[in-house]
């Protein structure tokens, strides 16, 4: 597929999948219009990259549906100056979108081959404000805490306590919580020492595996 066709498909994705479903944040929409999603999937799947669905990325993992990426990004309420932690780098696409709307993104992945691939794409696109590591993301990144925003892109049974502790005050976390088949996407807000949890919508994510998630 020619590059300008990808550009056309990306604009159509924003107009048909995001705006009608309530994505209104200017920064989020600009990032979704800019980041070349087709770069984050295998070449053979490039023509499906702007469809209204998740796609496989290998190792049994997925790149999330564009709408879910936009919804989670918008829910963080970023203004450009924040330090954000993402758990579950996967293809790298969500981290790339975040990197356009905040100051620095720290992203953790547990599967080595996925992170190696994502890092190559960040380098190719010159997305230099993304810092990544291999680890169990449910324990967070204590050396770099606190984070103004935390975004978890895999579903676990509960909100990992280390992530709550590493969330800045004020700060926002977006995380799918629930069973292995279906979860509730939750917005967790910390303000003046108080934590508030509010539901966003029902979602289906792959497992968050780790010491504060599901067992491997």
Neighbours of 73 (CB within 10 A): 27
Closest distance of CB 48 from ligand SAM, Å:
14
Closest distance of CB 138 from ligand SAM, Å:
5
User: Residue 147: phi, psi to the nearest 5?
Assistant: -115, 135
Exposed (0-12), middle (13-18) or buried (19+): which is 173, by Cβ within 10 Å? Answer: buried
Q: Annotate 60-125 with DSSP letters as a single string.
A: TEEEPPHHHHHHHHHHTT--SS-EEEEE--TTSHHHHHHHTTSSEEEEEES-HHHHHHHHHHHHHH
198 is catalytic: no
Out of 17, 73, 74, 94, point to the residue binding ligand SAM (CB under 6 A).
Answer: 94
Residue number with CB closer to ligand SAM (37 or 83): 37
Residue 28: HSE in the Cβ half-sphere, 13 Å Cα cutoff: 21
Closest distance of CB 60 from ligand SAM, Å:
8
Residue from 64, 91, 99, 132 carrying the catalytic annotation: 64
Residue at shortest CB range from ligand SAM: 88
Closest distance of CB 196 from ligand SAM, Å:
24
| d(C-alpha 208, C-alpha 210), whole Å | 7
Q: Which helix (H) or strand (E) holds 20?
A: none
Residue number with CB closer to ligand SAM (18 or 194): 18
Contact flag: residue 68 with ligand SAM (CB under 6 A)? no
Contact flag: residue 111 with ligand SAM (CB under 6 A)? yes
Binding region for ligand SAM (CB under 6 A): 61-64, 87-88, 90-91, 93-94, 108-111, 114, 136-138, 153-154, 205-206, 208-210, 213
Active site positions, annotated: 64
């Amino acid at each position: 597929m020619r590059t300008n066709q990808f550009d056309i498909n990306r604009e159509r994705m924003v107009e048909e999948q995001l705006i009608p479903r309530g994505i209104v944040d200017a920064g989020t929409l600009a990032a979704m219009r800019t980041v070349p999603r087709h770069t984050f999937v295998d070449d053979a799947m490039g023509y499906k990259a702007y469809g209204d669905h998740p796609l496989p990325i290998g190792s049994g993992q997925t790149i999330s549906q564009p709408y879910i990426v936009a919804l989670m990004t918008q829910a963080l309420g970023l203004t450009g100056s924040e330090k954000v932690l993402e758990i579950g780098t996967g293809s790298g696409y969500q981290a790339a979108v975040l990197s356009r709307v905040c100051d620095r993104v720290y992203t953790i992945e547990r599967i080595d081959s996925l992170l190696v691939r994502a890092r190559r794409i960040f380098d190719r696109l010159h997305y230099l404000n993304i810092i990544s590591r291999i680890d169990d993301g449910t324990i967070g990144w204590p050396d770099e805490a606190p984070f103004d925003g935390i975004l978890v892109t895999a579903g676990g049974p509960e909100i990992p306590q280390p992530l709550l502790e590493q969330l800045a005050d004020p700060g926002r976390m977006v995380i799918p919580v629930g069973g292995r088949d279906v979860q509730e996407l939750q917005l967790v807000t910390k303000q003046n020492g108080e934590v508030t949890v509010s539901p966003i919508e029902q979602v289906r994510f792959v497992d968050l595996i780790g010491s504060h998630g599901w067992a491997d």
